[in-house]
Amino acid sequence: MQVVIIDFGSGNLKSLYTSLERAKKDLNNINIIVSNNSIDIKNSDKVILPGVGTYSDCKKGLESITGLIETLEEVVIGKRRPFLGICVGMQLMSTFGLENSKTQGLGWIPGKVVPIDPSSKVATGLTKPKIPHMGWNEVNLNSSHDIFNGISKNSYFYFVHSFHFICDLKDNILATVDYHQSLVSVVGKENMLGTQFHPEKSQLLGLKFLSNFLKWNP
Amino acid sequence: MLTIRIIPCLDVKNGRVVKGINFIDLKDAGDPLEQAKFYDKSGADELCFLDITASNEGREILFDVVSKTAENCFMPLTVGGGVRNIEDIRKLLLSGADKVSINTAAVDNPLFVKQAAEKFGSQCIVVAVDPKKVSANRYEIFTHGGRNPTGIEAIQWAKQMASYGAGEILLTSMDRDGTNDGYDINLTRAVSDSVPVPVVASGGVGGPSHMLEGILEGHASAVLAASIFHFGKYTISEVKEYLRDAGVPVRL
């Protein structure tokens, strides 16, 4: 099986690559590649879209590679191959985002990406509300999706983000996280998954999550 | 609930750890990777490398150190010390650092922070702020480990850096650094309450009670320490248990 990490000039692909290499240790015949080449992507069985920085820059990055979005749509929507978006890669699955300016997303999971409201009432933690939401936070699982196999309720994952995904459909919310308000932390729909947290930075549980993705057969 | 981060900091010179754990049976206590693995296993929430190398040759080794660490530790890694330009940041991020801490270069050219945040995103730009108390209610920024005064007022500076896109402030009291007397709480609170971004308290920790003060009274989002961990005075989990028992959310 081949898994492609989409390289569109965003983020630290190296840590994602090495953590996938580690996560696949007990699995057979998995080849991880980093590419933005449409043939590589079409030849891959699973697709991972990372992303750090801003929504608009990441979208521009995707658009700057000729045919990349079309290829992703063909493979993920057309051929329904398993897909994982991470951080801004997950946010890009939305209809649109409001970071910097209103930017159209991939439109795969209906909803919008908006700033975390620092003044919202449901304050948790000891500090005053800080943006970005940065650090280890408990993920509240809303579903028994295969991606959570071996991950107990209220496990900690590493987050760093200032914007969050508001899903139009409750069914697409697989997990949330509490930070002054309830935020979506994992989205899912059919063959697609997205995480607001960084599994590649979340130590053993993060590796478990990635290993579950490698094993996942939607 | 978001937990308070406990961050051990290692001083690295010419690719070797000069201030790190020296109480357990590490095969090579000077090897940053061994130290990083130890802290990874011990439940540290992030790791910080402070590069104190002076020479350019020595700095090249740092990229290799960061790269080996990132391949083996799946936790956030901040690297600081001697970051002068966009290319330095790019190389550190490509090597596997998650965040890069900028200090003197920000003082020399505050707009550098803005450029860096625009280029790489605020989430990976930390500004290290090193104040010293100069009078009853005034703190000023010093560079070069507290030797060089700049005349810049610390709280305004931290606010400016956050507005330029720093995603985090690493605040080290030059008066307390190395004393084991505890963080400068007034300074920590003044900065934490003035900036919208997380503040990491640093400088002066002698034990977990200082960390508790830094969090409850200083309003820090994370606490950094070096010597109390390196000399085995406390383990990460002892610190976390202490904080948990005092009602602070920690990841155990």
Please enumerate, as own/partner, the contacts of B234-242 that have beta carbons within 8 Å and a separation of 24 or more.
Answer: B234/B207, B234/B208, B235/B42, B236/B6, B236/B8, B236/B39, B236/B42, B236/B43, B236/B44, B237/B42, B237/B43, B238/B208, B239/B6, B239/B208, B239/B211, B240/B6, B240/B43, B242/B208, B242/B209, B242/B211, B242/B212
Task: Measure A93 CA to nearest chain B CA, in Å.
Answer: 20
Mean pLDDT of the residues in chain A: 93
Taking CA–CA distances from A129, the nearest residue in chain B reads B196
Mean pLDDT value across residues A104-130: 78
Residues of B in contact with A126 (CB under 8 A): 4, 215-216, 219, 248-249
pLDDT band at A120 (very low <50, low <70, confident <90, very high): low
pLDDT tens digit sequence for A154-197: 899 999 999 999 999 999 999 999 998 899 999 999 999 999 99
Do residue B67 and residue A14 have CB atoms under 8 angstroms apart? yes
Q: Which of A46-50, A107-111, A206-210, B84-88 has the lowest mean pLDDT?
A: B84-88
Residues of A in contact with B120 (CB under 8 A): 52-53
Q: Which of A24-33, A42-51, B55-64, B189-198 has the lowest mean pLDDT?
A: B55-64
Determine the structural domain holding residue A29 and report its residue range: 2-215
- Structure-model confidence comparison of residues B109 and A119, the more confident one: B109
Q: What is the pLDDT of residue B16?
A: 86
Tell whether A128 lies on the interface with B, counting CB pairs under 8 A.
yes
For chain B, 252 residues long, the average pLDDT of each consecutive 10-residue run is: 94 83 71 91 94 75 90 92 91 91 95 93 94 94 87 98 97 92 96 96 95 96 91 92 96 93
Count structural domains, chain A: 1
Do residue A14 and residue B96 have CB atoms under 8 angstroms apart? yes
CATH number at residue A169: 3.40.50.880
B160, A178, B41, B180: CA torsion to nearest 10 = 50
pLDDT band at A122 (very low <50, low <70, confident <90, very high): very low
Say if residue A26's pLDDT is above 70: yes
Q: What is the pLDDT of residue A126?
A: 47
- Predicted TM-score (pTM) of the model is 0.94
Do residue A178 and residue B168 have CB atoms under 8 angstroms apart? no
Tell whether A185 lies on the interface with B, counting CB pairs under 8 A.
no
Do residue A135 and residue B45 have CB atoms under 8 angstroms apart? yes
Do residue B74 and residue A54 have CB atoms under 8 angstroms apart? no
Residue A58 known to be catalytic: no
Catalytic positions of B, written as ranges: 11, 130
Find residues 46-85 of chain A whose CB sits inside 8 Å of chain B: 52-54, 57
Interface A:B, Cβ pairs < 8 A? 111
Taking CA–CA distances from B7, the nearest residue in chain A reads A135
Mean pLDDT value across residues A3-26: 89
